Amino acid sequence: MSGHSKWATTKHKKAVIDAKRGKMFAKLIKNVEVAARMGGGDPAGNPTLYDAIQKAKKSSVPNDNIDRAVKRGAGLETGGADYQTIMYEGYGPSGVAMLIECLTDNRNRAAMEVRTAMTRNGGSLADPGSVSFLFNRKGVVIVPAEQEGREVSEDDVLEATLEAGADEVNDLGGAFEVVSEPGDLVGVRTALQAAGIDYDSAEASFVPDNKVALDKEAAAKLFRLVDVLEDLDDVQNIFANFDVADEVMAELDA
């Protein structure tokens, strides 16, 4: 879930011990397989595959599963499905704009499941292009503040990534979000590695121009919709233009 970054960070931490870990593993493995099919099976020459593998490893996906996904995607092992990327556009509760990115081998199933999830949980699908103009494609790297043996500051992250193309560094509380142009994503990630700074994820994302502020009730409704969508096998990413104040997040967490 990308939109309110603190929520995304919270979800990331909880995901590793979540009961749905098997489902999350399947999505991460699918991501690796598709990246290998699109750009080849060598992570050194395929940055998208490199980042997909790193994200899978961060989430404790076994190395054997990752290796097999790379081989399937590269055509070295049979059994890979013909996945397609589809982006659905829509509105959630309180008029929150949403982009729902799917990786699927069955377009009809994906469309039906996404539409059903939206309509049953206070959302609605919209025509292509009616929502996507509210977002910009960006490179986003999430850097944890607490690293092995030391605490990383916002200045540390900014100093490491500024010349590599970072546009901004946002403090998420416990982590930092480094935003760049998509073409600078690899440079930013490489600069962090060179500075000895670890990161949780590095991927191209859709960042909203403006955000809709939600109160506790509206946020709870939106997060319920997001949970239902994320539970669908075909849904890989959700991007939304909402913001929730820290005190409201604290109430929801409680």
pLDDT value of position 10: 57
Identify the residue whose tokens are 């996507």. 132
- Specify whether domain 136-208 bears CATH 3.40.225.10: no
Q: How far is CA 188 from the centre of its chain?
A: 17
Quote the pLDDT of residue 252: 78
Q: Which residues pair with 143 in a beta bridge?
A: 176
237: three-class secondary structure by DSSP:
strand
Report the pLDDT value the prediction gives residue 246, as an integer from 0 to 100.
Answer: 79
The length of the chain, given as a count of residues = 254
The per-residue pLDDT for 1 is 46
Each residue's pLDDT tens digit, 232-252: 989 999 999 998 887 888 787
Place of tokens 């005190």: 247
Tokens found for residue 139: 């490179």
What pLDDT shows up at residue 7? Answer: 55
pLDDT of residue 58: 85
Per-residue pLDDT of the chain (254 residues; tens, 9 = 90+): 444 455 555 555 555 455 566 778 888 999 999 999 988 899 989 988 998 998 898 888 899 999 999 999 888 877 666 888 999 999 999 999 999 999 999 999 999 999 999 999 999 999 999 999 999 999 999 998 998 878 999 999 999 999 999 999 988 888 899 999 999 999 999 999 999 999 988 888 898 989 899 999 999 999 899 989 988 989 999 999 998 887 888 787 76
Show contacts of 61-66: CB within 8 Å, 24+ apart: 61/25, 61/28, 61/29, 65/25, 65/29, 66/29, 66/32
Please indicate whether the domains covering 1-135+209-247 and 136-208 agree at the CATH topology level: yes
Based on DSSP, count helices (H) and strands (E) in the chain, helices before strands: 9, 12
82 three-class SS: coil
Rg of the chain over Cα atoms, rounded to whole angstroms, equals 18
What are the sequence ranges of the domains in the chain?
1-135+209-247, 136-208
Q: Which residues lie below 8 Å from residue 250, measured CB to CB, with a gap of 6+?
A: none
> Rounded distance, CA 74 to CA 251, Å?
47
pLDDT at position 69 is: 93
pLDDT at position 193, please? 92
CATH level 3 topology of 1-135+209-247: Alpha-Beta Plaits (3.30.70)
CA–CA gap between residue 236 and residue 208 (Å, rounded): 18
Do strands 175-180 and 97-104 pair parallel, antiparallel, or not at all (unpaired)? unpaired
